[in-house]
Structure 1
Amino acid sequence: MAQTVLHTANSRGLADHEWLKSHHTFSFSSYFNPERVQFGALRVLNDDTVDGGMGFGEHPHDNMEIISIPLEGALQHKDSMGNVATIEAGEIQVMSAGTGMYHTEYNKNKGEPVKFLQIWVFPNKRNVQPRYDQVKIESPAVPNQLVQILSPDPEDAGVWIYQDAWFNLGKLNQGSNADYTIHRKNNGAYIFVIEGKVEVNGQLLDTRDGYGIWDTEGFTINAATDARFLIMDVPMEL
């Protein structure tokens, strides 16, 4: 029988720095909840809003797969590997921090906020050479499809990471549904609702709710309204 965990939007941690509002699904920085440290290999799921022209100064990372998905606006990125880039809504960015790297992130536009998801996944290979990539996310030509945006395979669609993980973006019209099959035995899936309402396994999820499901081969997502969501398929054991 499938096991599940529900994290409602209003139960998340919140860091309010005036210029930054960051909702933490899992323990992060000053927010610590011993029952919400991770979901398998999924360690961080931050829902960030950064005011115009503001951002994160240079800071380090190591031995973590770091994924950024802008939802609105544009992020200006610069790192110790020599990459300078702008990441906009409709793109995905990945950094394999490996042996260590530094980077900065700023809202490129002074007149509007940037909203993005920052996601950390534990790698299955430590101390790799740090690497950076970003790609455009192919939006479905029509709604009611799942679009793969991340996998372990460099030749597959989207970006790749050092972990047996797969991410899919979904967009469903009200009343439609999508079936999802978990890719690998001993993986689970964490569904994060970007907007709208969906029902999974009998559980109704609202905007910014998160829902983990494991010990199952798959599930069906039903759209209670027009909805967008992210499915993160990750190993449950490290």
Structure 2
Amino acid sequence: MKKTIHPANERGHNDIGWLKANFSFSFGPYYNPAKVHFGALRVLNDDIIAGGTGFGTHPHDNMEIITIPISGALEHRDSMGNIGVITAGEVQVMSAGTGIQHSEYNHSKTEDANTLQIWLFPKEMNIEPRYDQKSFTDKLIPNQFVTLVSPYKDGDAIWINQDAIFSMGDFEAGQQVKYDVKIPGNGAYTFLMEGKIAVDETVLNKRDALGVEDMSSFTIETLDQSRILIMEVPMR
């Protein structure tokens, strides 16, 4: 097993007043040649967006973009005519494909919104752009992972244009959880949203991350009440 540890306090950071961003991988003003991507996982931004502000209309193409609100809500508008609000407990997927324009604003005028924005390199290039969002609030069962996104069009997860599977779960302290890699050859990037865990004896605290590859499974021990996000992605 090969491990890549990304401590929270070693992430890139940018504070422009209305936006406080933490970058797990090189993005915008932050560049680290040792942290450009983990397999197909290209971007993992932990953003705090001030009330009444947001990202104006801007373009994307040939990227799979996943947004996971941690707290607060984002208002989304795009060139396909989609208008909606995503809140904590929901997940949004946008396949940019041949090209799309969109904007994202904090839905509140006064309260901060904290979101994870995640980009994956696509499996197929230049597909027709696509948007989807779904609530997983009722599917989060304590001490179990729920699949958020997957490459399969059937089932409860949101389809994504990549052989990637995202799983999230809330776990009580003292749990031993085995994670089996779903797609042979994939790596798994574990991002600890809250709590404290050990992944095969490597301890992670809040917002730490660990990428593992060249394995078929690994074990997580929860040392505190924890919310865990595992992003399983192709490594080549």
| Structure 1 and Structure 2 fold alike (TM over 0.5) | yes
Q: Which runs of 5+ in 2 are unaligned?
A: none
Structure 2 distance, partners of 1:184, 1:4, is: 18
Query: Secondary structure at the residue paired with 2:153?
Result: coil
Taking the TM superposition and a 5 Å limit, the aligned residue runs for 1:1-238 are 2-140=1-139, 142-237=141-236
Q: How many residues align?
A: 236
- Deviation, structure 1 residue 186: 1.3
CA displacement 1:87-115 (0-9 Å, x = unmatched): 00010000000000010000010121011
Structure 1 distance, partners of 2:131, 2:100, is: 10
The answer to whether the Cα contact below 8 Å between 1:44 and 1:119 also exists between their aligned partners in 2 is yes
Question: Which amino acid counterpart does residue 79 of structure 1 have in structure 2?
Answer: D
Structure 1 distance, partners of 2:182, 2:29, is: 34
Question: Which amino acid counterpart does residue 179 of structure 2 have in structure 1?
Answer: Y
The answer to whether the Cα contact below 8 Å between 1:137 and 1:158 also exists between their aligned partners in 2 is no
Structure 2 distance, partners of 1:110, 1:184, is: 42
- Deviation, structure 1 residue 138: 4.1
The answer to whether the Cα contact below 8 Å between 1:179 and 1:219 also exists between their aligned partners in 2 is yes
- Deviation, structure 1 residue 171: 1.1
Structure 2 distance, partners of 1:5, 1:20, is: 28
Query: Secondary structure at the residue paired with 1:145?
Result: coil
Structure 1 distance, partners of 2:188, 2:139, is: 21
Structure 1 distance, partners of 2:115, 2:107, is: 13
Query: Secondary structure at the residue paired with 1:23?
Result: strand
The answer to whether the Cα contact below 8 Å between 2:140 and 2:146 also exists between their aligned partners in 1 is no
Q: Which runs of structure 1 show a deviation greater than 2 angstroms over 4 or more consecutive aligned residues? A: 138-142
How has the CA–CA distance of structure 1 residues 5 and 141 changed in structure 2, closer, same or farther, with 3 Å as cutoff?
closer
Query: Secondary structure at the residue paired with 2:127?
Result: coil
Structure 2 distance, partners of 1:129, 1:184, is: 25
Q: Which runs of 5+ in 1 are unaligned?
A: none
Question: Which amino acid counterpart does residue 38 of structure 2 have in structure 1?
Answer: F
Percent of pairs with identical residues: 51
TM-score (norm 2): 0.98
Deviates more, 1:116-125 or 1:136-145: 136-145
CA displacement 1:145-179 (0-9 Å, x = unmatched): 11111100111222111110000002110111211
C-alpha RMSD of matched pairs (Å): 0.9
TM-score (norm 1): 0.97
Question: Which amino acid counterpart does residue 209 of structure 2 have in structure 1?
Answer: G
CA displacement 1:10-65 (0-9 Å, x = unmatched): 00000111110010000001100001000000000000000001000011000000
Structure 2 distance, partners of 1:117, 1:142, is: 21
Deviates more, 1:177-186 or 1:225-234: 177-186
